[in-house]
Structure 1
Amino acid sequence: MKYYLRFFICAVVAVIVVACAPTFYEKTYEFNKALAEGNFESASIMMQQSEKKMSSGRLEFLYYVNAGMVASLMNDFEKSNKDFQKADIFIEDHKKNVFEEGGALLLNPNLTTYPGEDHEKLMVNYFKALNYLEMRQYNEALVECKRMNIRLNQLSDKYKSDKKYKRDAFINVMMGIVYEAFNDPNNAFIAYRNALDIYQNDYAKLFKMPVPAQLKYDLIRTARKTGLHNEADKYAAEFGMDFQEDDSYAHLTLLWNNGMSPVKAEWGVNFAIVQGRNGYVTFVNKELGLSFPFYCGNDKPTVSWIKAVFPKYVERKNFYKNARLVGADNIAYKFSHAQDINAISFKVLEERMLVEFSKTLLRVAMKQSIAAKVSQENEGWGAALSILGSATESADTRSWQSMPRDISYTRIPLEEGQTSVDIILTNDKGVEETKTIPLPQFAKGENVVLPFYSLASYSAQQY
């Protein structure tokens, strides 16, 4: 048997251990469970235990974003931003490795370094900005705003179709919030106006998501602060509302990070192999209306059908459904839903499924063609290799799983000397829970920005 065939068989046998492994979510289930239950100390210990294994290999990006999340949840904002900065550097420096890409094409996609999804890369800057706001480092938070803007421009340049996720409304909202904390209403207004455009023209179509009510108030308020009274009047008429800035001592913007993002699993599709002419075969699935032709030369697959495996997202349903924020005035302020990470995740994967189909079926075709070549020398080896080739098929189920599922926000007035606010959470059974959020010391006219996390969610394994 030729050397390259022996090598391929050895490689296939070696990688079958990887292919038969559980999904990434199943591997990290205890970590996810600790986060959902609010046991951040246990999650931190797990991150420490996995540092050597994950921090410099194919999971480097996922290690640092998860480590950054855990550190932030434990109020260690400096460590959190060090970890997020390493993830940020990875994003900037990462280049595809030709040997990894070759191994992924020939054997298994999990052999590549995970680069991060488009929306995951954007969220790195969001959490860095939150950490800086917690530390009242407004200049640094502003830098993250500018980095968000660069990433948004890169995303827009990457995709031309209006049917793709290429603009992020919430990131523009976050930029506006940071600019307001920096006492720059002019740039805040521009960011909010950009967000409005994206909600109305992108999010409405892609995610069936309306413009957040809070954003409407933010637009009118910052327009008036900037002296753009005609703009303010226009939006007030368009939204059927108006907002006159009150003379409260200070204000709080609270970003409610709720639930946990979806996780990736596998799903299989059976394809009939239709033999064609001139060395071509076609993989066909009539139910899904899929047809992919491949050139195999004289080494056409000897089997009549194959099963290909692809990634899919599985949502984790929220434990908490609603919330309202109560300040010193005892008025309950509703939250406005501003970001649906669950929907964006599904959309991002859907947009590249044609590429996933093509890459996966090309890999399957190559495995079966090599098995056919081996069969010409040894029928038994060829049959075994065909079976092994199918057995090593596995989807890439890696993702950033510690992100929230939804982000909502609201803005309320603060009184001088106020030390806390109450958030009232309503779970899926209609039961209310009240949690007190301590406030830092603040000055007159300050715009305080804080995050609140409620990561309780149902396991993806229950659906």
Structure 2
Amino acid sequence: MNYRIYLCTVLVFIVYACAPTFYEKTYEFNKALAEGNYDQAAVMMEASDKMATGRLEFLYYVNSGMVASLQEKFDHSNQMFQKADIFIEDHKKSVLEEGGALLLNPNLSTYGGEDHEKLMVNYFKALNYLELKKYNEAIVECKRMNLALNRLSEKYSSEKKYKRDAFIHVMMGIIYEANKDPNNAFIAYRNALEIYQNDYARLFKMKVPEQLKYDIVRTAQETGLWDDAKKYASEFGIELQKEDDYASLVLLWNNGMSPVKAEWGLNFAIIEGSNGWVTFVNKEYGLSFPYYAGNDQLSVTWIRAVFPKYVERKSFYTKATLSDGSSQYAFSFAQDINAISFKVLEERMLLEFSKTLLRVALKQSVAARVSQENEGWGTALSILGSATESADTRSWQSLPKDILYTRVPLKEGQKTIDIELTNIKGGKEKRTLELPQFRKGEKLVLPYYTLASFDAAAHNF
């Protein structure tokens, strides 16, 4: 191998490697969303359309889809989400990209999306169809959600991993109900209940949403499953009631903004072994990774490796209630995207450690070989190799931090409903939501967004 060529290549990428985190690069876009300036965010996405054919293709599509939906351009939004969906189906890792990511910098690979990010694509597509009252298309998204959940379950065998999503099942139930299919809705709600009681309780310390309890009992009644209705009503402490509301509304409150990725670093001592083996050791965290260096005598006794981490963005609003003038309806906490994000990254940290240390070790091995020809160049390359270390901090940052929902009865001819928001300082804001026209027996499903969040840059990266 021509090590001078390798050195030149590393020098070319030093600027790239020392670049700010992805959140810092997209700070103004995030700020526009948090402040509700959706038109400004849309202009920023249009100006970055080159992303659509690069390593950020997935993020370009999902961010464009989110912004279009927030602007109530639902058809255009779904065109973008559909492209993201196709990307997920077709994306295959490039050998050349993966090689560059391993040898130089992980940001040289195309970002494929985290597991939970891929599931959210179908969620937002379904929301758009429900806004447009295209229930058949929303049902198709239901089926795609189910396929995506099956792929996720097949991907992992450990019960300690995030491999089932309770909220996606809740969403499937909501869609089935909107399409007047209480039987499949009941099945979806029952599946969600089991996952909340097991996976979510264990992994995220989450309780079963109160609204889900009523949804299970109600759909069991509507399907004629009286034994199930009585069983769940008794288990939840709910009285069986026959509902004769003119219509109903499900409001999905998408609150805050998801965490962002930053970097953190660890120092590893290099312990020489026998037969060409060395070991990278960090005593503080009890980490030990062996590496075969062969005849390459590393010129350093320690290295610093950097890894991705999530940083939470605190939401400005902490509570909300709906009011129709005579009754108030609380929201039920249904999805903690913040906690899921941390969990997904935690699950693969051992792999992140291994890949990062392998990349660092390869750089140091090359530096050791160069030192055999020119000690000065070898030392410079060793230092440069450490300086160019960077973690992959890309993520879908326009996702909400969490999702809550509630169901309220609607009166014939009702045109508005009030929502009262409580912020982190205890202050209250009252807003009036306009309702679309609806018919008797219709089940409206609408999203509501409050993306106001505190700046992640305020945290110590």
With the shorter chain as reference, the TM-score category is: over 0.9
Give per-residue Cα distances to partners, 1:1-51, cap 9 Å, x unaligned. Answer: xx6201110110011111110000000000000000000010000000001
Write the letter of the residue equivalent to 1:391: A
Corresponding residue of 1:37: 35
CA distance in 2, matches of 1:330, 1:393: 60
Between stretches 341-350 and 5-14, larger displacement belongs to 5-14
The answer to whether the Cα contact below 8 Å between 1:103 and 1:111 also exists between their aligned partners in 2 is yes
Provide the residue aligned with 2:371 in structure 1.
Answer: 375
1:413-441 superposed Cα distances (whole Å, 9 cap, x missing partner):
00011111111100011111011111111
Aligned match of 2:454: 458
State the Cα RMSD in Å: 0.7
Could you tell me which of 245, 248, 260 is aligned with 2:245?
248
Q: Which one of 32, 47, 50 corresponds to residue 49 of structure 1? A: 47
Q: What is the TM-score of this pair, normalised by structure 1?
A: 0.98
Equivalent residue in structure 1 for 2:355, among 356, 359, 365 = 359
Check conservation: 2:323, 2:418, Cα contact below 8 A.
yes
Q: Which residue does the alignment assign to 1:165?
A: 162
Q: TM-score, normalised by structure 2?
A: 0.99
Q: Determine helix, strand or coil for the equivalent of 1:55.
A: helix
In the alignment, structure 1 residue 64 sits paired with structure 2 residue 73: no
Separation in 2, partners of 1:242, 1:370:
72
Question: Does 2:394 align with 1:398?
Answer: yes
422, 429, 451: which one pairs with 1:426? 422
Q: 1:420 to 1:95 in 2, by over 3 A?
A: same
Aligned-pair CA distance for 1:395: 0.1
- The aligned residue for residue 15 of structure 2 is 17
Q: What does residue 214 of structure 1 align with? A: 211
Paired AA for residue 39 in structure 1:
N
Residues 169 and 394 of structure 1, relative CA distance in 2, 3 Å threshold: same
Paired residue type of 1:324: T
- Counterparts of 1:245 and 1:433, CA distance in 2: 34
Q: Which residue of 2 aligns with 1:88?
A: 85
Say which is worse superposed, 413-422 or 239-248, in terms of deviation: 239-248
Deviations 1:71-114 (A, max 9, x none): 00000000000000000000000000000000000000000000
Q: Distance in 2 between matches of 1:92 and 1:117?
A: 14
Answering whether residue 313 of structure 2 is matched by residue 316 of structure 1, we say yes
* Correspondence 1:296-311 to 2 at 5 A: 296-311=293-308
CA distance in 2, matches of 1:398, 1:114: 7
Q: Which amino acid aligns with 1:283?
A: F
Deviation readout 1:346-394 (Å, 9 max, x if unpaired): 0000000000000000000000011001001100000000011001100
Unaligned stretches of 5+ residues in structure 2: none
Shift of 1:245: 3.6
| Paired position in structure 2 for 1:143 | 140
Aligned amino acid, residue 239 of structure 1: F
Secondary structure of 2:333's counterpart equals strand
- 2:17–2:105 CA contact under 8 A, matched in 1: yes
Work out which of the residue numbers 323, 328, 334 in structure 2 matches 1:326: 323
Q: Does the aligned pair in 1 maintain the 2:230–2:240 contact within 8 Å?
A: no
- Note the C-alpha offset of 1:243: 4.2
- State the AA in 1 paired with 2:95: V
CA contact (8 A) 1:280 1:294 kept: yes
Residue in structure 2 matching 1:291, options 288, 301, 304: 288
Question: Does residue 239 of the first structure (1) align with residue 236 of the second (2)?
Answer: yes
Runs of 4+ in 1 over 6 A off after TM superposition: none
CA distance in structure 2 between the aligned counterparts of 1:245 and 1:46, rounded to whole angstroms:
50
- The corresponding residue for 1:443 is 439
Give distance in 2, aligned partners of 1:252 and 1:244. 18
Task: Tell me the CA shift for residue 462 of structure 1.
Answer: 1.4
Please give the alpha-carbon distance, in whole angstroms, between the structure 2 residues aligned to 1:67 and 1:213.
Answer: 33
Aligned equivalents of 1:235 and 1:58: distance in 2? 48
Alpha-carbon shift at residue 232 of structure 1 (Å): 0.8
Supply the AA of the counterpart residue of 2:228. Answer: E
Shift of 1:300: 3.0
1:270 counterpart residue number? 267
The AA in structure 2 aligned to 1:340 is D
Deviation by residue 1:303-356 (Cα, 9 ceiling, x = unmatched): 0100000000000001000000112x5211000000000000000000000000
| Cα distance in 2 between the residues matched to 1:120 and 1:348 | 10
1:142-170 C-alpha deviation (Å, 9 max, x unpaired):
00000000000000000000000000000
1:108 alignment partner AA: N
Aligned partner letter, 1:22: P
Percent identity (aligned)? 73
1:5 aligns to what?
3
Q: Give the secondary structure class of the aligned counterpart of 2:53.
A: coil
Counterparts of residues 174-213 of structure 1 (less than 5 Å): 174-213=171-210
Letter in 1 for 2:382: S
Structure 1, unaligned runs of 5 or more: none
User: 1:302 Cα deviation (Å)?
Assistant: 1.5
Q: Is the 8 A contact 2:248 2:410 kept in 1?
A: yes
Q: What's the offset of the Cα at 1:181?
A: 0.1
Deviation at 1:451, TM superposition (A): 0.2
In 1, distance between residues paired with 2:372 and 2:30? 49
Partner of 1:346: 342
Q: Which residue of 246, 254, 260 maps to 2:257? A: 260
Amino acid across the alignment from 2:384? L
Q: Does 1:410 align with 2:400?
A: no
Counterpart amino acid of residue 435 in structure 2: L
Q: Does the 8 Å contact 1:325/1:333 carry over to 2?
A: yes
C-alpha contact (below 8 Å) 1:217/1:243 kept by paired residues: no
